[in-house]
Copies of this chain bind each other. A is one copy, B any other.
Amino acid sequence: MSFNTFGRVFRFTTWGESHGPALGAVVDGCPPGLSLSEADIQPFLDARRPGTSRFTTQRQEPDAVRILSGVFEGRTTGTPISLMIENVDQRSKDYSEVAKAYRPGHADYAYDKKYGFRDYRGGGRSSARETAARVAAGAVARLAIPEVTLIAYVAELGGDCIDPARFDAAEIARNPFFCPDPEAAKRWEAKVDAARKAGSSLGAVVECVATGVPAGWGAPLYAKLDSELAAACMSINAVKGVEIGDGFAAARLSGERNADPMRPGANGDPEFLANHAGGIAGGISTGQPVVVRVAFKPTSSILTPVETITRQGDASEIITKGRHDPCVGIRGTPVVEAMVALVLADQKLLHRAQCG
């Protein structure tokens, strides 16, 4: 089955392939009356856009979004919002090699086994280009949760971590790595350059922090806020792990060390003395910052030959030439942020449905 819709009441459906004429998203269930124009969406697409530095794929896509429905006189009407992005730079290329043999780590083999054949041009539906549609939808979701501030950044690249002591949110937009630590950004520049030149690739860990989420969003048991965040982030291309708060590190702490003590705070809300839980308890937000960590594997497209088989099952070798991101986690950063926004908008509406 193909399920290209995400969300329960604030929902979006994406469509489109890497080398089709366009891709897009339909956002359904958005509250009416929100001020919305292309200008609210474009900056987020621009942040994700390829070709903006030598550290990402050189495919040139303006990723200009058009709103085709759901907005009247500058405001959302409550009806579905259709967002379309045309594919422009579908470089004429010889895909015969990819058509014939499977690229390990890519969806090639799995798609063929599932569907019997595949659109092999640039990965077809499994291309990370689809994430442009998510980012566009996420920009709409943000408008539905004005109480929330989202920040996402690369916390680790090729195994090299940022120094929390040097964390500066303002740095994130100043380097091509969404890196909040200027020292790390410098090191990563060399690292990514080296990988790119060697035809190799690197993984990364993206962190997203949502502040302003009020206590009470989320749901027992199978639409838990953390469960939805895990589904949302694990659905992003190349993602292999998701953590909430301390994540796997929490499994190494004692109960005392992992506790998030509370004391009376300002204006009636508790003050929490720690946030190991990442802002979620029992699947429901606690009012603390919601913290998600996402592991991106290294890009599977590399210039080193890898043993593989052809569609006919014969032994072969493949190298993936052409344009690709040496570290797909970098441009994954705005995608993680978008997915978190989409989950939070949905959970806000779900909470309102049941609890008024």
Contact = CB atoms under 8 A, between A and B. Distances in A.
Given A117-B77, A195-B254, A200-B254, A82 B15 contact: yes
A297 to B, nearest CB: 4
Nearest to A329: B251
Interface string A168-208: 00000000000000000000000000010000111111000
A58 B228 CA distance: 33
B240 A244 contact: yes
30 contacts: A1-B9, A2-B80, A3-B219, A5-B5, A14-B80, A32-B117, A77-B117, A106-B281, A110-B282, A110-B286, A113-B214, A113-B216, A114-B355, A203-B250, A227-B231, A227-B234, A240-B243, A241-B242, A248-B248, A248-B295, A250-B297, A251-B296, A251-B297, A253-B297, A255-B301, A259-B302, A263-B309, A263-B315, A264-B309, A349-B354
B295 A250 contact: yes
Contact of A13 (B5, B218, B256): B5
Given A109-B270, A241-B242, 4 more contacts: A32-B355, A104-B262, A111-B284, A205-B248
A53 B152 CA distance: 44
Interface in A276-335: 276-278, 280-287, 295-302, 304, 306-309, 313-315, 329
A309 B107 CA distance: 50
Contacts of A142: none
A66 to B, nearest CB: 8
Nearest to A72: B119
B70 A15 contact: yes
A138 interface: no
Interface class of chain A by DSSP? mixed
A82 B26 CA distance: 10
A268 interface: yes
A246 interface: yes
- Closest 7 pairs (CB-CB, A-B): A107-B282, A1-B350, A201-B255, A203-B251, A3-B223, A110-B284, A353-B353
Contacts of A216: 110, 113-114
A66 B119 CA distance: 18
A63 B320 CA distance: 42
A313 to B, nearest CB: 5
Nearest to A14: B221
B221 A4 contact: yes
Contacts of A17: 69-70, 72, 77, 79
